[in-house]
Amino acid sequence: MIDKVIPLIYLAAAASFILALKWLSAVHTARRGVIVGVVGMALAVGGTLLRPEIVSYRWIAIAFVLGTIIGVPMAMMPMTAVPQRTALSHAFGALAAALVGTAEFYLRTPKLDVFTMSALALEVLLGFLTFTASLMAFGKLQDILPTRPITYRGQNVVNLALLALAVAAGVALVASPARTWLFPAFGAFALVFGVLLIIPIGGADMPTVISLLNSYAGLSACAMGFVLDNRLLIVAGALDGSSGLILSIIMCRAMNRSFANVLFGAFGQVQASAAAAEERIVRSATAEEAAPILGNAGLVIVVPGYGMAVAQAQHKVRELFDVLTKLGVVVKFAIHPVAGRMPGHMNVLLAEADIPYDRLVEMDEVNSDFAQADVALVIGANDVTNPAARHDKSSPIYGMPILDVDKARTVMVIKRSMSPGFAGIDNELYYMDRTLMVFGDAKAVVGNLVKELAAGAAAR
């Protein structure tokens, strides 16, 4: 009886995953997508626990407790730490796949056929390299490691040579699984390659890296499904891998860059021009001086960036939205696809602060509105607003689609200092005649703007 029920449970779980992805693609159905995805995972786990192959639940119970101890604190991390949490999730999922592959190799050798051994080799290779790569990404996102690219002469040659060694070891194992002595070297090559893959990648490329690692983890799980003859794992892994790859392609298009450039371009080295930033004239203003300009505007377009996330200023931004709306000002939020450190980072933060969904406008739709905007308020965004991307062929961001904030009548930039962004280059926007720099922590500055606007409204 159980043998007939489990396939039905897996089928329902697979359908839930597909529907979850569909509903997560739209804001108004995203909550439903999350709930259905959770139900699907519960069905998948429940169906697996019913399998007759399980002879003891002791180690499963221990793993459940340990996973809960690790997972609950991760779930309680602030929304501003979503990129780091995502990187850790990829690391744990990939490690699980790699360890399952390792166990299957030693349990089933030399009875592994060519197809199963090929899937197992792919599972272990992608699992181990994704594990260490995700840990390195977490370190960069958490500022434990330098966010700038770490490079050295001949780095790409070393990386490709190490990957070639890993692939060669995998091919040798497929040809002869009995060479068990080669398996530890195969795993070690994959682990080290994961580290070396990420260290030359700068913070500006983290959105693409996160989605690419998501794809690797999914493909590893898909390969594990073939090894274990588990159709649900194949479906779930394929969905995860393909969606991550599609998202990576979207991110690369948003930056007008290729995968090769992201992975091997060392994007984010500080340029020499940034050192001369202090020699140029900058117009600055206090919150008290900036508030009346906002209050008298007809249309304000807010451009959120990673600085807003670091300062955890999203709730203050909501207060600013409320007070401006009460004053009759139309407020929109311009969302660049790679603003922040993971795809959708700004959408998540603003949604947490209950900013109305219809006020979040994607780059392609909002760019035509900047020419009519009285104020473009940039909160911690840097490279995605740099006009150099349009005309400076020597700039590393040349050709990257940007938000046309420089076309607004007045540009206000809230920033801690004049330091360059993740791309490591100076932002031309900061030196324009129509730009006002409001220096300080984003949360504190926006809070002061709210106080000044509220006081001005009360005095009317």
CA 325 distance to own-chain centroid: 31
433 annotated active-site? no
The tokens 């999730």 sit on which residue? 89
**Nearest to residue 300, comparing CAs of 317, 276, 279?**
317
The tokens 């194949």 sit on which residue? 234
Cβ neighbours around 221 below 10 Å, total: 26
Contact 174, 118 (CB under 8 A): yes
DSSP string, 242-265: HHHHHHHHHHHHHHT--HHHHHHS
Sheet holding 299-304, edge to edge: 360-362, 330-335, 299-304, 375-379, 410-415, 435-439
Q: H-helix or E-strand containing 378?
A: strand 375-379
**Nearest to residue 89, comparing CAs of 235, 218, 228?**
218
Q: Which entry of 205, 240, 369, 383 is annotated as an active-site residue?
A: 383
> Quick one: DSSP state of residue 205?
G
C-alpha span between 223 and 124 (Å, rounded)? 9
User: Would you name the residues annotated as active-site residues?
Assistant: 383
